[in-house]
């Protein structure tokens, strides 16, 4: 299995685009949010929708509060004549995985992947509670920040981290975000100052939480001749896998992420050096857990884009990690990179994508 | 080059209005365990799980794959969630098939479900959304005008819908898993049932069901199970926009393109001749003649004549929905997968009382949204 997951067929990230991440976009609907992103992701490489053979999107109805939110969003692409198209109720990183699987069969050469979501429309704490076991957990409405705080507390109790570590990660992320024009929260505030914040839920202070973000993103995947046509120096996906853990928080060691470790192993992450990592750790402490699970030492730069602490558009934040990791390679800053995406409470489900330049 | 892929295990629940004896996890496990047993496998033999269902709002459980991972033996494995509206059960099976065809996995468990009694689909479909035309009357209210348009266009007489309603319910009498077992069903009973959305009467509409479907898909070197494999000869999906001037909602281009694609893969040039049977998503009676035309089983305008002639009946030359179809069991998210699963059962020869004699090649079809999303597969007893 692992040999196959280390890609029989090379697939490249041919183009990446994302919306300006904002706290609240109340001027556009989902189609209007997506249209410029789709235009940019095609425009970057001078192609149109006619050049892709498959379309896959990621979104969730629970952000818009109505069923079938992906249906109208499809108008952002304009699927006429009809297209081969699919949708996952997951982060766009998993939509990318579905497209990548199809490309492995060798019958198509290019795919468009996109995702979108407006986190600003409702109360995320209430909404994300509905992800939980509907019989034994959801009726108690445990909110997502409190669950993350339980995990952070476990990490401190295990002696694996301190609150100062969380502040250092937050300070670094938002300082790095100053060089990312698409970031939502970017500033240069020392960790010591951040530690003066009030707790939101102990031991998590305001800075250790992700911002609430409206956003959208898109990637074009290409294989075969198209990968070469659309880029002089393609960025290749060389390993790709995702794994899930049990839902019961009490049955998990919240200070580790065995699903990330397994996915990294299948994706062949340890087969070479890692120059940069884009990690989808919405809460500061989660970066520590994922870094360890990926086996990255302290020298590997994490989230030079600012990461999810600088912009966390639900359903797109994982896809953006893959796009940002590819951008690091494309710019020449890295030769080999890893991108990570997560879903579920306390990092229950994790995806690892290994990227390499030439 | 894609690997060959086959269905080696199928399982489904007893579909009912209310499965109060099981939780959602219990419901999906019932189908999954049956599929594993059919394939002579256990949970540990499975490499990945692909799950699908219709809108999460139907049960009020957001992204339920997160909660269902342990119930489906997915812990430590890839767990993937598909949602493509009403076609989702079919699309979910296709995503699972691609995991095998691509060579990434050897054995994939795919599951689809709906527990409609935990929900109110009519309400969930009718939530007003800004800048969008309201559905208000649920799916039936949306499709009734398209049916009227078909009747006007084709000149079909009113009784055709009632014939389909009777035929599929009679077929369901042969299927122990079907939700509706209406022993006394006849044309008069349908005609006397309440008018819901003109021209659709109560008994011309699908029921609301709790239920789940599951299949084990395997690569050529990982076959097992009590019955011969159902080989996948073709897979296709197509989507088109919900609305634009000039769109043909009665005979959608996406459906025609999807069937052309899957037929080309499977070498089908005359579907009525070459297929031994078909399971097609007919949630409202009139969609049988409409899809007969859309899928090329007859010329345009002749779908109702095929139905009227009895060709699609259990003893006809091309039985459609021998299982009783969506008109007899409708766990929405699973309804599409049940179509795909039932044709696999037919070509494996395991359909019991509703087995179509000597079925070797069959079409499974599912559609969704405003009849704009299509997924199809062709399965056969012979290796492609």
Instruction: Please state the three-class secondary structure of A119-142 as a single string.
Output: HHHCCHHHHHHCCCCCCCCHHHCC
**Domain for residue B13, yes or no?**
yes
- The stretch A316-338 carries a mean pLDDT of 98
d(CA B382, CA B384): 6
User: Given a cut of 50, is residue B57 above it in pLDDT?
Assistant: yes
Report the residue from A4, A132, A244 with minimal CB separation from B104. A4
Residue-level pLDDT at A2: 43
- Pairing mode, if any, of strands A85-88 and A54-58? parallel
Confidence check: pLDDT of A5 > 60: no
Closest CA relative to residue B225, chosen from B71, B337, B345, B80: B345
Residue among B57, B64, B78 whose CB faces A243 most closely = B78
List pLDDT tens digits, range B32-51. 999 999 999 999 999 999 99
Say if residue A280's pLDDT is above 90: yes
Give a yes or no: residue B313 inside a domain: no
Closest CA of chain B from A153, distance in Å: 23
CA-based nearest distance B114→chain A, Å: 14
Distances (CA, A) of B172 to B280, B323, B324: 14, 6, 4
- Mark yes or no for CB contact B83/A135 under 8 Å: no
Supply the pLDDT for residue B48. 98
Give residue B1's pLDDT. 60
Question: Which one of B66, B132, B237 has the shortest CB-CB distance to A247?
Answer: B66
Per-window interface: A 232-251 vs B, CB < 8 A: 241-248
Predicted pLDDT of residue B139: 83
Q: Do A105 and B56 touch (CB under 8 A)?
A: no
Q: Provide the pLDDT confidence category of residue B124 given band limits of 50, 70 and 90.
A: confident
Q: Do B75 and A244 touch (CB under 8 A)?
A: yes
Its domain, for residue B212, covers 5-118+208-222
Closest-CA distance, B124 to chain A, in angstroms, reads: 7
State how many domains chain B has: 1
Asked if residue B77 belongs to a domain, the reply is yes
Residue A4 has pLDDT above 80, yes or no: no
For residue B127, pLDDT over 80 is answered with no
Task: From chain A, pick out residues whose CB is under 8 angstroms from the CB of B97.
Answer: none
pLDDT at residue B135 in the model? 60
**Based on C-alpha coordinates, what's the Rg of chain A?**
19
- DSSP string covering A58-101: E--HHHHTSTTHHHHHGGGT---S-B-EEEESS-HHHHHHHHHH
| CATH code, domain carrying B39 | 3.40.47.10
Query: What is the SS3 assignment for B356-378?
Result: CCCCCEEEEEEEECCCCEEEEEE
Residues contacting B244, CB < 8 A, separation 6+: A80
Residue B362: inside a domain? no
What's B53-109 look like in SS3? Answer: CCCHHHCCCCCCHHHHCHHHCCECCCEEEECECECHHHHHHHHHHHHHHCCCCCEEE
Query: Which candidate from B67, B104, B131 shows the least CB-CB separation from A132?
Result: B67
Residue that has been written with the tokens 């379309």 in this structure: A55
In a domain, B55, yes or no: yes
Instruction: State the average pLDDT for chain B.
Output: 95
Q: B85 vs A244: CB contact, 8 Å cut-off?
A: no
Nearest to B82 by CA among A234, A318, A90, A14: A90
Average pLDDT over residues B279-293: 98
Question: Is A87 within 8 Å of chain B by CB?
Answer: yes
In this complex, how many residue pairs, one in chain A and one in chain B, have their CB atoms less than 8 Å apart?
A: 191
Q: How far is A102 from chain B (nearest CA, A)?
A: 6
| Site from A27, A71, A92, A248 to mutate, B interface, most B CB atoms within 10 angstroms | A71
pLDDT band at residue B142 under the 50/70/90 scheme: confident
What's residue A1's pLDDT? 39
- B211 has a pLDDT exceeding 50: yes
DSSP code of A215? E
CB B218 within 8 A of CB A60: no
Residue B38 lies in a domain: yes
SS3 of residue B32 by DSSP: helix
CB within 8 Å: B24 and A134: yes
Query: Which of A87, A106, A248 has its CB closest to that of B84?
Result: A87
Chain A contact for B142 (CB, 8 A cutoff): no
DSSP secondary structure code for residue B6 in this structure = E
Question: CB distance B239–A81 less than 8 Å?
Answer: no
pLDDT in tens, B222-278: 999 989 999 999 999 999 998 888 899 999 999 999 999 999 999 999 999 999 999
- Tell me, what's the pLDDT at B130? 65
pLDDT at A74 over 90: yes
Q: Of chain B residues 19-48, which have a CB less than 8 A from chain A?
A: 23-24, 47
What's residue B188's pLDDT? Answer: 98
Read off the pLDDT of each residue in A223-247 and give the average, rounded to a whole number.
Answer: 96
pLDDT for the residue numbered B150: 98
Mean of pLDDT over chain A: 96
pTM over 0.90: yes
Q: Which three-class secondary structure state does DSSP give residue B206?
A: coil
User: How large is the average pLDDT for residues A290-299?
Assistant: 97
Which 45-84 residues of chain B touch chain A by CB within 8 A?
Answer: 47, 54-70, 74-84
How does residue A3 score in pLDDT terms, banded at 50, 70 and 90? very low
Closest Cα in chain B to A138: B61
| Cβ B172 vs Cβ B210: under 8 Å | no
Burial category of A217 from C-beta neighbours within 10 Å (exposed 0-12, middle 13-18, buried 19 and up): buried
pLDDT band at residue B309, thresholds of 50, 70 and 90? very high
| CA–CA gap between residue B119 and residue B51 (Å, rounded) | 19
Round to whole Å and give the CA distance between A320 and A35.
17
Pairwise CA distance, residues B6 & A358, whole Å: 38
pLDDT at B322 (0 to 100): 98
Residue B176 lies in a domain: no
List pLDDT tens digits, range A194-234: 999 999 999 999 999 999 999 999 999 999 999 999 999 99
Would B241 be classed as within a structural domain? no
Mean pLDDT, rounded, for B162-188: 98
Instruction: Reduce the DSSP state of residue B11 to 3 states and report it.
Output: strand
The residues, ordered by sequence, that sit 6+ positions from A332 with a Cβ below 8 Å of its Cβ are none
Domains of chain A: 2-123+212-229 (3.40.47.10), 139-209+239-356 (3.40.47.10)
């Amino acid at each position: 299995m692992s040999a196959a997951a280390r890609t029989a067929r090379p697939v490249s990230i041919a183009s990446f685009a994302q919306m300006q991440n904002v706290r609240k976009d109340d001027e556009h609907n989902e189609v209007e949010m997506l249209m410029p992103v789709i235009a940019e992701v095609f425009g970057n490489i001078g192609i149109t929708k006619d050049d892709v053979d498959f379309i896959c999107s990621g979104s969730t109805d629970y952000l818009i509060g109505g069923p079938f939110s992906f249906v109208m969003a499809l108008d952002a692409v304009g699927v006429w004549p009809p297209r081969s198209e699919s949708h996952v109720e997951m982060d766009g990183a998993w939509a990318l995985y579905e497209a990548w699987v199809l490309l492995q069969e060798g019958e198509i050469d290019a795919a468009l992947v996109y995702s979108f979501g407006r986190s600003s429309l409702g109360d995320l704490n209430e909404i994300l509670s509905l992800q939980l076991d509907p019989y034994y957990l959801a009726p108690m409405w445990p909110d997502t920040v409190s669950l993350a705080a339980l995990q952070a507390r476990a990490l401190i109790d295990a002696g694996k981290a301190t609150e100062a570590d969380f502040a250092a990660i937050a300070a670094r992320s938002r300082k790095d975000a100053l060089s990312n024009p698409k970031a939502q929260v970017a500033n240069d505030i020392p960790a010591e100052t951040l530690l003066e914040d009030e707790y939101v839920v102990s031991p998590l202070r305001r800075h250790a939480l992700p911002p609430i973000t409206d956003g959208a993103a898109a990637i074009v995947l290409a294989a075969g001749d198209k990968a070469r046509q659309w880029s002089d120096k393609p960025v290749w996906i060389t390993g790709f896998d995702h794994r899930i853990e049990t839902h019961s928080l009490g049955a998990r060691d919240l200070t580790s992420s065995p699903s990330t470790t397994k996915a990294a192993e299948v994706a062949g992450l340890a087969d070479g050096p890692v120059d940069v990592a884009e990690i989808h750790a919405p809460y500061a402490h989660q970066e520590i857990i994922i870094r360890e699970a990926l086996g990255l030492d302290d020298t590997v730069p994490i989230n030079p884009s600012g990461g999810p602490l600088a912009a966390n558009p639900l359903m797109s934040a994982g896809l953006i990690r893959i796009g940002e990791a590819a951008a690091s390679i494309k710019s020449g800053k890295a030769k080999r990179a890893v991108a990570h995406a997560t879903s579920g409470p306390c990092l229950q489900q994790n995806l690892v994508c290994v990227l390499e330049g030439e | 080059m894609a690997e060959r892929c086959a269905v080696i295990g199928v399982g489904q629940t007893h579909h009912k209005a209310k499965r109060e004896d099981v939780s959602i996890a219990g419901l999906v496990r019932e189908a999954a365990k049956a599929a594993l047993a059919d394939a002579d496998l256990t949970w540990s033999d499975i490499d990945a799980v692909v799950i699908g269902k219709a809108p999460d709002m139907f049960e009020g459980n957001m992204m339920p794959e997160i909660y269902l991972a342990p119930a489906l033996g997915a812990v430590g494995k890839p767990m993937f969630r598909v949602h493509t509206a009403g076609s989702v059960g079919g699309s979910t099976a296709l995503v699972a098939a691609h995991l095998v065809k691509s060579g990434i996995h050897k054995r994939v468990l795919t599951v689809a479900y709906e527990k409609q009694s935990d929900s109110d689909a009519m309400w969930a479909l009718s939530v007003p959304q800004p800048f969008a035309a309201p559905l208000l009357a649920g799916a039936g209210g949306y499709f009734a005008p398209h049916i009227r348009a078909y009747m006007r266009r084709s000149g079909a007489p009113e009784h055709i819908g009632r014939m389909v309603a009777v035929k599929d319910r009679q077929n369901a009498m042969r299927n122990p898993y079907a939700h509706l077992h209406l022993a006394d069903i006849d044309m008069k009973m349908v005609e006397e049932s309440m008018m819901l959305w003109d021209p659709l009467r109560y008994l011309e509409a699908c029921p609301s069901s709790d239920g789940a479907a599951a299949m084990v898909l395997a690569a050529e070197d990982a076959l097992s199970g009590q019955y011969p494999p159902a080989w996948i000869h073709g897979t296709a999906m197509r989507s088109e926009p919900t609305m634009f001037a000039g769109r043909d909602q009665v005979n959608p281009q996406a459906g025609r393109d999807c069937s052309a694609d899957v037929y080309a893969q499977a070498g089908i040039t005359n579907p009525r001749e070459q297929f031994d049977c078909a399971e097609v998503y007919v949630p409202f009676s009139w969609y049988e003649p409409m899809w007969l035309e859309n899928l090329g089983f007859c010329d345009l305008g002749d779908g109702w004549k095929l139905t009227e002639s009895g060709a699609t009946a259990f003893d006809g030359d091309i039985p459609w929905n021998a299982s009783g179809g969506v008109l007899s069991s409708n766990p929405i998210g699973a309804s599409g997968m049940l179509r795909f699963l039932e044709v696999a059962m037919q070509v494996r020869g395991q359909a019991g009382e509703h087995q179509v004699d000597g079925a070797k090649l069959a079409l499974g079809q599912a559609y969704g949204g405003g009849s704009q999303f299509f997924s199809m597969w062709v399965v056969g007893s012979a290796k492609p």
